[in-house]
Amino acid sequence: MKQLFDYLSSFAFAITILAFMFVITLVGTLVQETQMSLYDAQRIYFDSWFVVQHVWGPIYVPLPGGVLLMTALAINLLFGGMLRMKRTRSRAGILITHVGIAMLLLAGLVKFSMSYEGQLALYEGEASAEFQDSYDYEIVVFEPLANGEVREYRVPHEQFATLGARDTLTVRNKSWPFELQVFGWMPNCRAVPPSSKTASALPVVEGHTLEERPAVLKHDERNLPGCYVRARIGDSEQTGILWLIESPPMLTTHPWTITVEDKQWGVKLRRETHRLPFEVRLDDFRAEFHPGVRKARSYESWITASADGADVKHHIYMNAPLRRDGFTLYQSSWGPQGGSERDRLFSVFSIVTNPADSWPLWSCVVIGLGMLIHFTVMLVRYAMREARARAEVTS
C-alpha cells in the first residue's frame, strides 16, 4: 500500500502524466488540421478514458484519454503535491499553486459533468424561452390532447445516434397505440429521389429516400442527419423519413404524421431542446463594420428577458454576455449572410449553463499568487548568492 502511495505521489508519476497530456494535446490539435472537427477531437481525445491512435499503416497505439489523465493528475496532485510534500516556508508558494490547480481541475469536472450548451436564433421582434443543443439531437413524438395542447415524448440522442446502418431501435410507450422503430440513421444525408447513388435496400417514402453524404469533418454544424421511422400498429405499419433541413437561422424539419383511429400523431427529428427559466425577445440587432471593408467592428443585440411578468432590458455584444439564472447568453453570430440594416436580421446567441462559471478565475488568482511567491523567493535567493559570490571574488 505504501509503495502504491509512494508511486502515486511521486515525481515520476507526475512526469508520466504530464508527458502523456502533452502527447494527447499535441495529437488532439494536429488531427484538427484535416482529420476531424473540434467537437470530435474533444470527444475522442479529451473527454475519453482511452484513445487508440492510428500511427501509420497497421500500427495503432493505445493512449490514455483526457479524463483518465485528469483523474490521475488529481490523484498525484493530492497525494504528492499536497499531502506528501514537505510543508516548509520555502515551499509555501508551490503548495498554494497546487491548491489552485486542484480548484481548476474541480471546475473542469463540474463543467464536464453538469454543463450543457446550445443556440438560440431570433429574428428582430421574435421571442423564445427554448434553445437548441449545439451537438445532440432528439426524436420527438407529439400527441395532440383533447384540450388543444400537445404532449411531447422525447427519444434522447444517445439511444439512436450510435445506431449502425443495419441497426434498429424499437421504442414503446404505454400511452402510444403504436411501436416506433428507428433505423437507417445517417449523421449527414439528404432526402433525394431514388437513383443509382442511393442504397436500394432503403425504403422509398413518397418518392424520396435518404442519400448518405460524407461527414463534414471540420464543421460539425454543417452535417444534416436523418433516419427512417416505422410505426407498427398491430399488423400494419407506416414508414416515414425524418431529416433536417438547413433553414437559417436554425435547422428545421417537418413532422412526419401517423394516423391511428382518426387521431394524428407527429414524429420529428430536431436538435435537443432545452428551456430557459426566462423568455428572450430580440428587440434590436445591429452589425457594424469597419468603414470600407467587411471586417466586423461589432455585433450587438438589445433584448428583453421576461419572467414572472417582469421585463428586464439587456444589451449583449462581443465580450459582454448576459449572465442570468445560471445561464450565459453570448453573441454568437447573425444573419442572413450579407444582410444590411434594410433587411430583417436575426441574431444567434450561444447559451451555456455551467455551475462552476467563476471558479477558473479564482483558481487563476490562487495559482498566480502561489507561483509569484515561489519564484520571487527563488529569484531573490539567486541574486543574493550571485552578489555574495562576486563579493568573495573581489575580496
Partner 1 sequence: MIRSFSTFVLAASFVVGLAAQSDSQRLRTAPWSPEVQRAFAELPVQDGGRVKPLDTVLQFALYRIQHKRKVHVPDEARFGFLAKTSLTPIEWGLDLMLYPEASNIVPAFTLEDSDVLTVIGIGDVEKRKRDRYSYAELEPGIQELVEKASEYHAIDTKKRTLLQGQIVGLANAVREYQGLSRALDFARARYVLPEGPVRELFDGAVEVRTSDVLRKMAPLIRLFQTERDDAGVREFADDVDEIVKVSHHLAWIPPSVDSHEEWLSVSDLFEMSFSGIATGDQIECVERFEDVTDALGTPGEFDAAVFALHAKLSSLTKARGEFDKIPGEVSYYRADFFGWALVLFLGGFVVLAFGWLAPRARWLATGSTLFAWAGEVALVWGITDRCILRERPPITGLYDTILFITGIVVLAALVQEAINRRRIGLMVANVLGAAGMFLSFAHEVSSGTDTMDPLMAVLDTNFWLATHVTTVTIGYAAGLLAAGLSYVFLLGKLFGLRKGDRAFYHQIGRMIYGSIGFGIVFSTVGTILGGVWANDSWGRFWGWDPKENGALLIVLWFLIVLHARLGGYIRHYGVALLSVLGGAVVAFSWWGVNLLGVGLHSYGFTSGVQNALVAYYGLSVLVFALGIVAWARERAETAAAQPPAVS
Find cell 477531437 and name the residue.
41
Cell of 220: 460539425
Task: Output the smallest distance, CB 157 to partner 1, in A.
Answer: 20
Nearer to partner 1, 278 or 299 (CB): 299
Are 185 and 161 spatial neighbours (Cβ–Cβ below 8 Å)?
A: yes
Nearer to partner 1, 33 or 158 (CB): 33
Nearer to partner 1, 115 or 162 (CB): 115
Nearer to partner 1, 229 or 287 (CB): 287
CA 121 to chain centre: 17
Residue 86, amino acid: K
Nearer to partner 1, 60 or 382 (CB): 382
Task: Output the smallest distance, CB 34 to partner 1, in A.
Answer: 8
* Cα separation, 228 vs 177, whole angstroms: 19
Task: Output the smallest distance, CB 75 to partner 1, in A.
Answer: 15
Task: Output the smallest distance, CB 37 to partner 1, in A.
Answer: 11
* Cα separation, 325 vs 308, whole angstroms: 13
Of the candidates 134, 191, 172, which has an alpha carbon nearest to the alpha carbon of residue 330? 134
Question: What are the residues binding partner 1 (CB under 8 A)?
Answer: 10-12, 14-15, 18-19, 21-22, 25-26, 28-30, 32-34, 38, 41-42, 45-46, 104, 107-108, 111, 115, 117, 218, 289-299, 317-321, 328-330, 350-352, 354, 357, 360-361, 363-364, 367-368, 371-372, 375, 378-379, 382-383, 386, 390
DSSP per-residue letters across 3-36? HHHHHHTSHHHHHHHHHHHHHHHHHHHHHHHHT-
Nearer to partner 1, 136 or 357 (CB): 357
Task: Output the smallest distance, CB 187 to partner 1, in A.
Answer: 21
CB count, 10 Å around CB of 354? 19
* Cα separation, 137 vs 190, whole angstroms: 17
Task: Output the smallest distance, CB 334 to partner 1, in A.
Answer: 11
